[in-house]
Structure 1
Amino acid sequence: MKVVILAGGLGTRISEESQVRPKPMIEIGEFPILWHIMKIYSHYGFNDFVICLGYKAHMIKEFFADYYLHMSDVTFDFRNDNQMVIHQNVAEPWRVTLVDTGLSTLTGGRLARVKKHINNETFMLTYGDGVSDIDIPRLLDHHRTHKKTVTLTAVQPGGRFGVLNLDNAGTDVIGFAEKSVEEGGWINGGFMVMEPEVFDYLDGDFTVLEKEPMENLSANGALCAYKHYGFWHCMDTLRDKLVLENYWSSKSAPWKIWDENRKSGINV
């Protein structure tokens, strides 16, 4: 199953960093947040990525072009036709398709531009700035059980985001609110599962996925929510980056689910 990651925005709210690099390339520890997101999916065996590029796309392309070499032990033999020998590598089992979806294209438009890479199959979609300890297989089971066109992950980050209105069962999304009016409001945290029918709701580069497409999906009873009660944090501002950096440097990053020693309390 393919995982689509939206990684083309300008990142204006974290301009201290994004003026020199695209937001998904801002580092937490020694790796970009995009890498952290991909590691979450890869932990569960989802290794086929389609990344929607835009702002400073070349930097993301260069990261992946050099990744294998950077993660390898290597000998350069300049005496022998500049021969390069790879001794050992710890690169990932990833297949990464990088698609330039335009500098000014909005979220729904970026998704529409990668339709040909989806192969008319169920796929996953998330944003290139949010990490979580979400159980992806449980999310996928929830999607298959409820048989909706789109399942989004609902999280409770606090009061600075717009909120979702959920039905009494807490699964179907029946509307949206512009601002959180009380503590505990549920928001769309990304980590979505989608059927190819979602492309019927997209209309051109200036489609905002979170507006008319989601609203129309909701109105048609085709949108449901998977409630995640664990850790979720997006890197929206410099303050958010510092929070995530602190988790990482203290060896207590909740999203580092690929670390076998994480739950044992061993610091690595």
Structure 2
Amino acid sequence: MKVVLFCGGMGTRMREYSQTIPKSLVHVGQRPIIWHLMRNFAHFGYTDFILCLGYKGEMIREYFLKYNPMLSGDCRLEKGVARLHADGTDVCDWNIDFVDTGLHTNIGGRLVAVRHLLKDEPVFLANYSDQLSDLDIHQYVAKAQEIGKVASFVSVRPPGSFHSVNAEANGTVNYVGPWADNKLWINGGYMLLRQAIFDYMEPGDELVEAPFQRLIQQQQLYSYRYEGFWKAMDTYKDKLSFDEDYDRGRRPWEYWNKT
């Protein structure tokens, strides 16, 4: 099963980094966030990736084409030969298609641009490439396959310090509190799509807008609710939060390091 990764956006809310590198190359610890995401998929056996490139896509190509695990992983030089301290799946075991899908193309357009690489895939995974989770991908895929809808996505409780507000039509407030306490769920970016998704798309469509509305009308959209760890890198503040978690050893998405 192939994994489509949308990594062509301009990351306008990450200007501290995105003026020089694409958001998917912003580091969490010693490696880019997209590496952590792909490593997580690979842990569950999904090692065939399609990268939908756009803004500064050449930098993403260069990172993987010149990838050297010795530069970011713990290693030892033994009589002139470099050896990693830890064994395990790494980029050398992955298959990656790099596809230029346009600078200003939306997510739907990027998916259509790689459709030719999915023609033999009755079902495939897709992801926004800017979030990490300790989601058990095997369990999610199994459940979504069992439900059998055209499209499925993981919904999560939004983290953060913002407060949600409920108010009557006249403005009288009846609730103010954390987002998570208001039974609010958002799209967590992990999607399982069938080939039929393309039948619900029209030129120019953004994936989760018009196509998902058409799926809803046909009862062909499924949401897998997940209350475990999930965090997106949307702003510079999110980057700092990831750095703090990483430095303190709070890395629940690293299934490959769990016993």
Superposition TM-score tier, normalisation by shorter sequence: 0.7 to 0.9
Q: Report the alpha carbon displacement of residue 161 of structure 1 after superposing the two structures with TM.
A: 11
2 CA distance for matches of 1:255 and 1:70? 22
Q: Report the alpha carbon displacement of residue 200 of structure 1 after superposing the two structures with TM.
A: 1.5
Q: Secondary structure at the match of 1:190?
A: strand
1 CA distance for matches of 2:163 and 2:104? 23
Q: Report the alpha carbon displacement of residue 39 of structure 1 after superposing the two structures with TM.
A: 1.0
2:172 match:
none
Q: Secondary structure at the match of 1:5?
A: strand
Percent pairwise identity: 36
Determine if contact 2:13/2:235 at 8 Å carries over to the other structure. Answer: yes
CA deviation profile, 1:93-132 (whole Å, cap 9, x unmatched): 1101111000010000000100011124210001110100
2:192 match:
193
For structure 1, the residue ranges without an aligned partner over 5 or more in a row are 76-84, 163-179, 262-268
2 CA distance for matches of 1:152 and 1:255? 18
Matches within 5 A, 1:27-66: 27-66=27-66
2 CA distance for matches of 1:161 and 1:116? 43
- Answer with 113-122 or 6-15: which moved more: 113-122
1 CA distance for matches of 2:103 and 2:81? 36
What is the identity, as a one-letter code, of the residue corresponding to 1:235?
M
What is the identity, as a one-letter code, of the residue corresponding to 1:184?
K
What is the identity, as a one-letter code, of the residue corresponding to 1:109?
G
Matches within 5 A, 1:167-206: 183-204=182-203, 206=204
Q: Report the alpha carbon displacement of residue 69 of structure 1 after superposing the two structures with TM.
A: 7.0
2 CA distance for matches of 1:116 and 1:184? 39
1:22 match:
22
2:209 match:
211
Matches within 5 A, 1:84-123: 88=83, 91-92=90-91, 93-121=93-121, 122-123=123-124
Matched, 1:125 2:126: yes
Matched, 1:260 2:239: no
* Cα pair distance change 1:6/1:138, threshold 3 Å: same
The TM-score with structure 2 as length reference comes to: 0.83
Determine if contact 2:158/2:180 at 8 Å carries over to the other structure. Answer: no
Instruction: Count residues in correspondence.
Output: 234
Determine if contact 1:109/1:203 at 8 Å carries over to the other structure. Answer: no
Q: Report the alpha carbon displacement of residue 182 of structure 1 after superposing the two structures with TM.
A: 6.7
1:151 match:
152
For structure 2, the residue ranges without an aligned partner over 5 or more in a row are 165-178
CA deviation profile, 1:50-72 (whole Å, cap 9, x unmatched): 01000001000000111147569
Q: Report the alpha carbon displacement of residue 260 of structure 1 after superposing the two structures with TM.
A: 2.4
Q: Secondary structure at the match of 2:66?
A: helix
Q: Secondary structure at the match of 2:249?
A: coil
1 CA distance for matches of 2:212 and 2:196? 13
Determine if contact 2:159/2:180 at 8 Å carries over to the other structure. Answer: no
Of Structure 1 and Structure 2, the greater helix share is in: 2
Q: Cα RMSD over matched residues?
A: 2.6
2:67 match:
67
- Answer with 238-247 or 151-160: which moved more: 151-160
Determine if contact 2:70/2:82 at 8 Å carries over to the other structure. Answer: no
Q: Secondary structure at the match of 2:10?
A: coil
What is the identity, as a one-letter code, of the residue corresponding to 2:242?
L
Q: Secondary structure at the match of 1:145?
A: helix
Matches within 5 A, 1:75-90: 88=83
Q: Report the alpha carbon displacement of residue 183 of structure 1 after superposing the two structures with TM.
A: 2.3
After TM superposition, which residue ranges in structure 1, 4 or more long, deviate above 6 angstroms?
A: 159-162
* Cα pair distance change 1:56/1:149, threshold 3 Å: same
